[in-house]
């Protein structure tokens, strides 16, 4: 496991040293800022609805999209991935290191936002809201991050494809076509939250199905990314 | 040392450090590398060819970063493609300049040493940094380095585990003359210690100064391989065309046609275009012929001395 620590460290430094991190923090802080504004304005919001609409549907997938497509995709794009690929390291270890960073940073940004927003907005059952959305967003964010990481191992257009998945597939089609819900990370995240006691709109996925969807995405994304990196081919050159 | 494949069955078993066996690589309908075979042992070999000839594609296949479409590439007897274990014995200096800009040169070398699983990564990094003469700038961020310094940082990363096989893609890019001399001397001493070093270049003079043997690649094909001097001779003795401007082109053309080294002379655009099979004999004879014909020479210029034409000639042979 000795190679994992340096890869994690260098990947974190690559992410944190750039302007991208300010965008991520701003994005993650959005629900907190809106919660504050609502509190200051004396509004009486429904915490579950705000967390569902703002965090699960918008902030969490976007944060995971930016982080997931960057941890390995940016190194492939700028050519620095070569230094990693010409080392005697099993490819699954590289993916594990990158997945730890992607999922870890997504959780570090999203979970505090969920906790603070819950505290600001919850009127009745704070404990349930807090627990349900924290657990659901932790696993949902991990699934998103690893799915987007795997996507970036295949294509340099991972960000655009991921954005289309979040906005078009999950935002529009999965809400209209009932039978496609199990292909949506968002629906699985909401299914976990619903199973833990919060009120979500529509008919949520069953807890078992939601857990299975997230587990398949996490394990499948990890395996597909490892498979892809084992066949990594450098871009460019004559 | 360059040898032909397949090996002589009567010869003792020989595992070349780098073996490229009937390797091709194509992208759709475009053939980047076309049925190339060679085997390399210890020493410095130059991979020479114009830009776009297929040098980087070939080097990337040797480094296991591209799958051959046909044929096989081996490093110390192990397939290069999908074999992470070969990287314990292989160092690569890629052509692209990108190096993590937020790391210092020393941190980059330590990172490479840690990824190699070395027991004392910091000591190995210090040695590699000293070897490439980057100690003074070792604790500065690579983002502040010059192109030549980045090349040396990449070399330090490739040398940190002391590999027996080293692949370098255009390693002299961006280096100043002093850095080039140091790099040449460093690579020579590493080759003398028994390492196999292959470097690509599109500059003949670089290859001439460093390589014991060369591989000439042109349009994806191996145009020539072997001892540098014999291939240099081939390049020099190929048919040449010169254009000459003089005080009396017609008289000079007539006189040149009497010279055995000249097999053609014609008047083109106010100049004499001379074709010769013997570069040395022609250049020695021309002043004498001009003097004997009472013609003043204003300009003598090679018409086809680009590397492109040299490589093209080698392929046609």
B42-79 confidence digits (pLDDT tens): 999 999 988 888 999 999 999 999 999 999 999 999 99
DSSP H/E element including B263 = strand B262-268
> What mean pLDDT comes out for the span A102-114?
97
What string of DSSP letters covers B35-74?
Answer: EEEEEE-SEEEEEE--TTSSHHHHHHHHTTSS--SEEEEE
Question: Quick check: B120 pLDDT over 90?
Answer: yes
> What mean pLDDT comes out for the span A56-66?
96
Whether A21 contacts chain B with CB within 8 A: no
CA-CA distance, B36 to B58, in Å (whole number)?
A: 9
Residue B289, class by beta-carbon neighbours within 10 Å (0-12 exposed, 13-18 middle, 19+ buried)? middle
Mean pLDDT of chain A: 92
Answer for the pair B95, B58: CB distance below 8 angstroms, yes or no.
no
More confident residue, A180 or B286: B286
**Domain residue extents for chain A:** 4-230
For residue B3, what pLDDT is reported? 45
State the Cα angle at B115 between B110 and B118, rounded to 5°. Answer: 70
Weakest mean pLDDT among A120-124, A125-129, B22-26: A120-124
Q: Which two tokens stand for residue A169?
A: 């597939």
The number of beta carbons lying within 10 Å of the beta carbon of residue A40 is 8
Q: Which residues of B touch A20 (CB under 8 A)?
A: none
Q: Which residues of A touch B165 (CB under 8 A)?
A: none
Give the max Cα distance, chain B: 77
CA-CA distance, A215 to A143, in Å (whole number)?
A: 8
More confident residue, A97 or B317: A97
Q: In what order do the strands lie in the sheet with B196-201?
A: B90-93, B165-169, B196-201, B43-48, B213-218, B221-227
For residue B4, what pLDDT is reported? 45
Question: Sorting pLDDT into bands at 50, 70 and 90, what band is A236?
Answer: low
> What mean pLDDT comes out for the span A30-46?
88
Question: Quick check: A167 pLDDT over 80?
Answer: yes
- What ipTM was estimated for this complex? 0.92
CATH architecture of B2-234: 3-Layer(aba) Sandwich (3.40)
> What mean pLDDT comes out for the span B172-199?
91
CA-CA distance, A117 to A109, in Å (whole number)?
A: 13
In CATH, the number for domain B237-316 is 3.30.70.100
As a whole-number percent, the residues of chain B with pLDDT over 70 amount to: 91
HEC readout, chain A? CCCHHHHHHHHHHHHHCCCHHHHHHHHHHHHHHHHHHHHHHCCCCCHHHHHHHHHHHHHHHHHHHHHHHHHCHHHHHHCCHHHHHCCCCCHHHHHHHHHHHHHHHHHHHHHHHHHHHHHHHCCCCHHHHHHHHHHHHHHHHHHHHHHHHHHHCCCCCHHHHHHHHHHHHHHHHHHHCHHHHHHCHHHHHHHHHHHCCCCCCCCCCCHHHHHHHHHHHHHHHHHHHHHHHHCCCCCCCC
Q: Which residues of A touch B92 (CB under 8 A)?
A: 82, 86
Q: Per the CB < 8 Å rule, is A232 touching B117?
A: no
For residue B315, what pLDDT is reported? 66
Residues 22..51 of B with a Cβ closer than 8 Å to A: which? Answer: 32, 51
List, for residues B229-282, the tens digit of each pLDDT value. Answer: 777 777 766 777 888 999 999 999 999 999 888 888 999 888 999 988 787 888
Answer for the pair B212, B183: CB distance below 8 angstroms, yes or no.
no
Question: Sorting pLDDT into bands at 50, 70 and 90, what band is A92?
Answer: very high
* Helix extents (H) in B193-248: 204-210, 228-236
Answer for the pair B24, B67: CB distance below 8 angstroms, yes or no.
no
CA-CA distance, A8 to A156, in Å (whole number)?
A: 22
For residue A70, what pLDDT is reported? 95
- The crossing angle, in degrees rounded to 10, of helices A60-71 and A4-16 is 120
> What mean pLDDT comes out for the span A194-223?
94
Question: Quick check: A36 pLDDT over 80?
Answer: yes
CA-CA distance, B128 to B153, in Å (whole number)?
A: 9
* Nearest CA-CA distance, residue B156 and chain A, Å: 12
For residue B96, what pLDDT is reported? 86
Q: Per the CB < 8 Å rule, is B115 touching A3?
A: yes
Residues 202..221 of A with a Cβ closer than 8 Å to B: which? Answer: none
Cα A194 to Cα A53, A61, A73, A200, distances in angstroms: 14, 18, 34, 6
> What mean pLDDT comes out for the span A208-217?
97
State the Cα angle at B307 between B216 and B300, rounded to 5°. Answer: 145
Q: Which residues of A touch B97 (CB under 8 A)?
A: 79
CA-CA distance, B155 to B131, in Å (whole number)?
A: 9
> What mean pLDDT comes out for the span B152-177?
93
User: Does B12 sit behind a cis peptide bond, omega within 30 degrees of 0 on the bond before it?
Assistant: no
Residue A136, class by beta-carbon neighbours within 10 Å (0-12 exposed, 13-18 middle, 19+ buried)? buried
Nearest CB to B67; choose among A85, A91, A233: A233
Q: Which two tokens stand for residue B228?
A: 């540098």
**Domain residue extents for chain B:** 2-234, 237-316
Weakest mean pLDDT among A42-51, B15-24, B120-129, B213-222: A42-51
Answer for the pair A102, A68: CB distance below 8 angstroms, yes or no.
yes
CA proximity to B263, closest of B282, B247, B245: B282
Q: Which residues of B touch A94 (CB under 8 A)?
A: none
Q: Which two tokens stand for residue B201?
A: 């270049």
* Nearest CA-CA distance, residue B272 and chain A, Å: 38
Fold match between domain B2-234 and domain B237-316:
no
Answer for the pair A69, A156: CB distance below 8 angstroms, yes or no.
no
> Do the bridges between strand B213-218 and strand B43-48 make them parallel or antiparallel, or are there none, so unpaired?
parallel
Question: Quick check: A230 pLDDT over 50?
Answer: yes
List b or e across B177-203, with b for residues whose CB sees 16 or more CB atoms inside 10 angstroms.
eebbeebbebbbebbeeebbbbbbbbe
Answer for the pair B267, B253: CB distance below 8 angstroms, yes or no.
yes
């Amino acid at each position: 496991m000795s190679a994992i620590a340096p890869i994690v460290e260098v990947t974190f430094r690559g992410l944190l040293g750039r302007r991208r991190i300010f965008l991520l923090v701003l994005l993650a802080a959005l629900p907190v800022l809106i919660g504050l504004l609502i509190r200051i304005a004396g509004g009486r919001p429904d915490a579950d609805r705000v967390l569902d609409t703002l965090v699960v549907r918008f902030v969490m997938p976007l944060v995971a999209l930016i982080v997931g497509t960057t941890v390995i995709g940016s190194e492939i794009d700028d050519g620095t991935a070569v230094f990693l690929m010409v080392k005697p390291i099993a490819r699954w270890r590289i993916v594990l290191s990158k997945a730890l960073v992607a999922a870890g940073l997504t959780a570090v940004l999203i979970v505090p936002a969920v906790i603070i927003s819950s505290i600001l907005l919850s009127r009745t059952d704070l404990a349930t809201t807090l627990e349900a959305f924290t657990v659901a967003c932790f696993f949902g964010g991990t699934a998103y991050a690893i799915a987007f990481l795997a996507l970036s191992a295949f294509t340099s257009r991972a960000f655009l494809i991921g954005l289309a998945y979040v906005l078009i597939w999950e935002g529009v089609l999965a809400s209209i076509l009932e039978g496609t819900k199990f292909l949506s990370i968002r629906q699985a995240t909401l299914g976990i939250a619903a199973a833990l006691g919060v009120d979500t709109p529509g008919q949520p996925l069953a807890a078992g199905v939601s857990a299975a969807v997230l587990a398949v995405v996490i394990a499948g994304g990890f395996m597909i990314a490892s498979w892809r990196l084992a066949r990594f081919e450098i871009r460019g050159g004559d | 040392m360059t040898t032909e494949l397949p090996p002589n069955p009567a010869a003792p078993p020989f595992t070349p450090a780098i073996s490229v066996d009937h390797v091709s690589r194509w992208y759709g309908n475009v053939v980047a590398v076309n049925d190339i075979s060679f085997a390399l042992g210890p020493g410095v070999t130059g991979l020479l060819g114009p830009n776009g000839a297929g040098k980087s594609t070939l080097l990337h296949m040797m480094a296991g970063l591209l799958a051959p479409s046909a044929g096989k590439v081996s490093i110390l007897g192990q397939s290069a493609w999908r074999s992470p274990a070969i990287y314990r014995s292989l160092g690569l200096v890629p052509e692209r300049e990108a190096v993590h800009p937020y790391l210092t040169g020393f941190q980059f070398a330590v990172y490479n040493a840690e990824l190699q699983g070395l027991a004392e990564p910091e000591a190995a990094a210090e040695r590699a940094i000293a070897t490439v003469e980057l100690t003074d700038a070792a604790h500065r961020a690579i983002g502040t380095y010059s192109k030549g310094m980045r090349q040396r940082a990449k070399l330090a990363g490739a040398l940190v585990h002391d590999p027996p096989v080293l692949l370098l893609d255009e390693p002299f890019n961006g280096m100043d003359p002093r850095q080039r001399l140091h790099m040449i001397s460093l690579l020579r001493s590493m080759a003398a210690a028994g390492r196999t070093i292959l470097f690509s270049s599109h500059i003949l003079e670089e290859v001439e100064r460093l390589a014991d043997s060369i591989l000439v690649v042109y349009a994806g094909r191996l145009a020539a391989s072997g001892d540098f001097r014999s291939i240099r001779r081939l390049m020099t003795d190929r048919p040449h065309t010169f254009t000459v401007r003089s005080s009396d082109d017609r008289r000079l053309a007539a006189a040149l046609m009497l010279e055995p080294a000249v097999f053609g002379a014609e008047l083109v655009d106010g100049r004499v275009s001379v074709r010769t099979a013997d570069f040395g004999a022609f250049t020695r004879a021309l002043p004498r012929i001009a003097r004997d014909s009472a013609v003043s020479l204003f300009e003598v210029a090679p018409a086809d001395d680009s590397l492109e034409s040299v490589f093209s000639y080698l392929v046609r042979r």
